[in-house]
Structure formats: structure tokens, C-alpha cells
Amino acid sequence: MSAGCSRRSAGGWPGGHTQKGHVAAIQNAWLVQKSGNGRARPQKSLASAAAVAPTIVARIVLSQSPALFQEAAQADRTMLPFFFDFRLLIWIAPAIVLALWAQWRVKSAFAAASRLPAPLSGAAAARHILDSAGASNVQVESVGGSLTDHYDPSTKVLRLSQDVYGAKSLAAVGIAAHEAGHALQDAEKSSLMAVRNAAVGVANFGSGLGIIVFMIGLAMALQPLAWLGIILFGGTVFFQLVNLPLEIDASNRAKAQLVALGIVPEADMPAVNSVLNAAAWTYVAATLQSILTLLYYASYLSGGSDD
Ligand SMILES: [Zn+2]
């Protein structure tokens, strides 16, 4: 699962570099217009904005795949087109370092816990937890790919990746139990879950559109439009602020259920805990990164950055 996270992140970074030139051009146009001699610039600026568009579209497409731990990676992708400014890179460096550390922790903890046996497979553990809580209507299915584990609230289906579905390991039951935790949040009609489900579409839509609107506002020196873009992008931050407590709650439920139902002996829980705790840190890092990015662009537009 961590392989998936790091692959997605690694895929995002080079994309950021390619945008550097385009966005620098857009920024220059913005600054030229601010200083009042940019009459010939709009054409160039729009061309630059158009050059950024393919990456924006790619990002929107990428952000459509639902999955468990990739929600954090999804947040990384959200930042992708914003990765053009070196000062931004410095500004969000703490979040990036935290994200890299957390992803490394997830990877190593998952590998270690995968070698430790559990009495049930991931699928059987999820089934047991769901049935014990009266959520027998939730289906458990296998799904292709790595780290693609997720609960789909619209169809009430819990999908587990190959490494989790049939594997009888502490890592597998830990992740399966986390997903079952999401299903139980849904079954209990958690209001936070309802807000999250409503916000996920808004966040995907808002972050993509927000970036486009921001770029256009910058390119055309229309500051209110750029602000609108930032506000739309704020939908992503909102989503992550709602999502974070749900992720932590799902893991807390998982830890409690695995022990209460006798799936994992108390003595074996540290290995499960290390996987789930590391995953929680990836969400913290993603949330921090989006907040810092939002603050950076807000301060950029409000005149904090002037060169
Ligand atoms: Zn989750």
C-alpha cells in the first residue's frame, strides 16, 4: 500500500517541475501588469495558462480514483500544479518532510506486519467485524491494484486489495478492520461521514476549478478572480479537515474491534498499531500541506510576496 503512495507522489513531482516555466511566465505577466506596462502581455499570459491546462486536466483525472490510504496521496496530487514556486516549496517543506517520513513509516510498518500471521484473512476479519456490529448488508469484495482498499458508501461495498483480501497477516486484518471502521461510521449515520461524502465531490471539483480560476485570475491580473480560485481551492482544505478525524476514528475502531473480537491478541497489537498510526500521519501531513499552500497563495495575492 505504501508502494502505491510513494509511486503516486513520485509521479507528481516531476509534473510540478515542468510547470515552473509556464507559471513563472504567468507570474511575470501578472507583475508586469501590476506595474502598468503590460499591454502586450495578455496574449502571452493566456498562452501560458493554456500550457498549464493539460497538467490540470491530468490532475483532475488522477484525483477521481477512490481508495483508502491514497486519500493522502490524492492531496499530494491536489498540490501538483501549484508546485511551480520555489518559495512555496520552502514554505511547505515541513509538510513534505512529514509526508515522506510517514510514507516511509507506512511502507516499513506494513512490510513488517505482513510477515506476522493472523488467524483470519483480511476479508474474513472485515466480515466478522461488520457482522458483529449488525452491518451484514455491507459486501466485502476484492479489488485489483495495491493500496486500493476503500469503503464505498454509495454502494455499501468494502473493497480490499489483493495484499489484504486473502492474506492472513496482521497488516491485512489491520487495514481490513480500518475499512470496516468506515463502513460502521456510515452505518451509524455519522454526520461527519455525511459531510465528508458530500465534500469529496466538492473538493475534487473545487480544487481543479479553483486552480484554473486562480491561474486565469493571475494571468489576466484580475485579483478578485484569483481570490475566487483560492476560495474554491479551500474546498480541499475543508475536505481534509473533515476527513482527518474520520480516518483517526476508523483506526481507533479497528484497534478496539480486533482485540474485542479476538482477531488479534493484545500482545500482537503493536504491529497493527504501527501500520495504522503511520497511515494517520500521512493524513496529517496532507492536511498540513494543503493548509500551508492555501496560506501561501493567500499571502501572495494579498501582497506579501512582491518580487
Ligand atoms: Zn480510511
Residue 264: what are its φ and ψ, rounded to 5°?
A: -130, 125
Residue 56 has pLDDT above 60, yes or no: no
| Mean pLDDT of the 14-37 span | 31
- Predicted pLDDT of residue 198: 86
* Distance from residue 54's CA to the centre of ligand 1 (Å): 30
* Distance from residue 201's CA to the centre of ligand 1 (Å): 17
- Predicted pLDDT of residue 218: 84
**Distance of CA 187 to CAs 109, 150, 191, 248, 261, Å?**
30, 15, 11, 17, 19
Residue 1 has pLDDT above 60, yes or no: no
Q: Which residue has the higher pLDDT, 80 or 188?
A: 188
Q: Which one-letter DSSP state was computed for residue 157?
A: E
- Predicted pLDDT of residue 44: 33
Give the rounded percent of residues in the chain with a pLDDT score beyond 90: 50
| Placement of cell 478525524 in the chain | 245
**What does pLDDT average to over the chain?**
76
Residue 232 has pLDDT above 60, yes or no: yes
Do 159 and 143 contact (CB within 8 A), yes or no? yes
Dist. CA 209–CA 81, nearest whole Å: 12
Dist. CA 38–CA 30, nearest whole Å: 8
pLDDT confidence band for 288 (50 / 70 / 90) = very high
* Distance from residue 305's CA to the centre of ligand 1 (Å): 37
Q: Which residue has the higher pLDDT, 74 or 200?
A: 200
* Distance from residue 50's CA to the centre of ligand 1 (Å): 36
pLDDT confidence band for 141 (50 / 70 / 90) = very high
* Distance from residue 95's CA to the centre of ligand 1 (Å): 20
Dist. CA 258–CA 266, nearest whole Å: 9
**Distance of CA 300 to CAs 128, 221, 294, 303, Å?**
52, 13, 10, 5
Which residue out of 71, 141, 179, 247 is catalytically annotated?
179
Q: Which residue has the higher pLDDT, 90 or 49?
A: 90
* Distance from residue 179's CA to the centre of ligand 1 (Å): 6
Residue 45 has pLDDT above 90, yes or no: no
Dist. CA 191–CA 50, nearest whole Å: 40
Residue 194 has pLDDT above 50, yes or no: yes
Dist. CA 12–CA 28, nearest whole Å: 24
Residue 179 known to be catalytic: yes
- Predicted pLDDT of residue 40: 32
- Predicted pLDDT of residue 304: 53
Model pLDDT for residues 96-140, shown as the tens digit of each residue: 999 999 999 999 999 999 999 999 999 999 999 999 999 999 999
Dist. CA 18–CA 140, nearest whole Å: 41
Dist. CA 248–CA 284, nearest whole Å: 10
Residue 130 in grid coordinates:
461488520
Dist. CA 237–CA 240, nearest whole Å: 5
Which of 278, 249, 256 has its CA nearest to residue 129?
Answer: 256
Task: Give the best-scoring range by mean pLDDT among 184-188, 286-290, 300-304.
Answer: 184-188
pLDDT confidence band for 7 (50 / 70 / 90) = very low
Residue 72 in grid coordinates:
493522502
Do 5 and 145 contact (CB within 8 A), yes or no? no
Helix (H, G, I), strand (E, B) or coil at 139: strand
| Mean pLDDT of the 255-270 span | 97
Residue 152 host element (H or E): strand 150-152
